[in-house]
Amino acid sequence: MTHLRIGTRRSALAVVQTRIIATALERAGHTCELVEITTEGDRNRSSLAKIGGQGVFVGALRDALLEERVDVAVHSLKDLPTGSVAGLTLAAVPPREDPRDVLVARDGLTFAALPEGARVGTGSARRLAQLRQLGKDDLEFVEIRGNVDTRIAKVRDGELDAVVLAHAGLTRLGRQGEITETFGPTELVPAPGQGALAIECRTADEGVVRALAGLEDPRTRAAVTAERAVLAGIGAGCSAPMGAFADTIGGADGNDLSLHAVVATVDGSTSVRLSTSGPLGEAEELGRQLATALLAEGASRLIEERVT
């Protein structure tokens, strides 16, 4: 039995996600203590693109690990930069929650039914780019930040007509009943790793690494490895207008992955969408190959257009 100090962001969703992991570890005979950490992404309310992308939610947790203030860190895997950190290891990727994006709209509206001039909130360049390609040129898109409660409150209070959020977050918070539409994963391609959790610890803590190994789901690991290899291969950051989604072919027992990716300009005017498939055991190479194909089709130019 091991006593584990588990670092988490302070948001309601982050704490719920960390408690899910703590409960699983406690069932395996370990004791757990949650340690709340405030990250730069929590302190700074500026646009994520301006302050460093989704990775700003990760740095403080990794510092706490390296400084031995916590033994384990729980991240939303989509926030995790693709580069490794010396001394830390991604010890487990548990089974993934639904990775799709969803709409929460007033009066139970779907995206197609939103009226002319409706205000739709999202803080994601990826979502914004793809939403603009869905044939609704009469909508106003509004950049927003904040937790799930804050975003949905903007709809409830009439400030916005709808917001686009991650299915996984609403499910973990028990709020999936507020979803008015779920977008298909090739219609609105999710962020790499969306819906999955990343469990990190110090590489040298062999006992902790062993304790976390029981949380691992190999198929989820393969899927997110392929998705993140696309992200790394095209040289884009976590906040870039790109999505990647991998899934097992043939259900839970399948041994092959399908992989779909998109890179777009934020205004939605241009995009590159490609798909491929291959063995689970070659997930990283599959992602690298798809990234190469995206670059050959002009993906780097689309990313550069966003930067400039």
Active site residues: 79
In what side-by-side order are the strands of the sheet with 3-9? 31-37, 3-9, 72-76, 197-202, 88-92
Phi, psi of 7 (to 5 degrees): -80, 140
234 token code pair = 């095209």
Cα 230 from chain centre: 14
CA–CA gap between residue 237 and residue 168 (Å, rounded): 21
Amino acid identity at 207: G
CA–CA gap between residue 205 and residue 191 (Å, rounded): 30
CA–CA gap between residue 30 and residue 211 (Å, rounded): 8
CA–CA gap between residue 215 and residue 144 (Å, rounded): 34
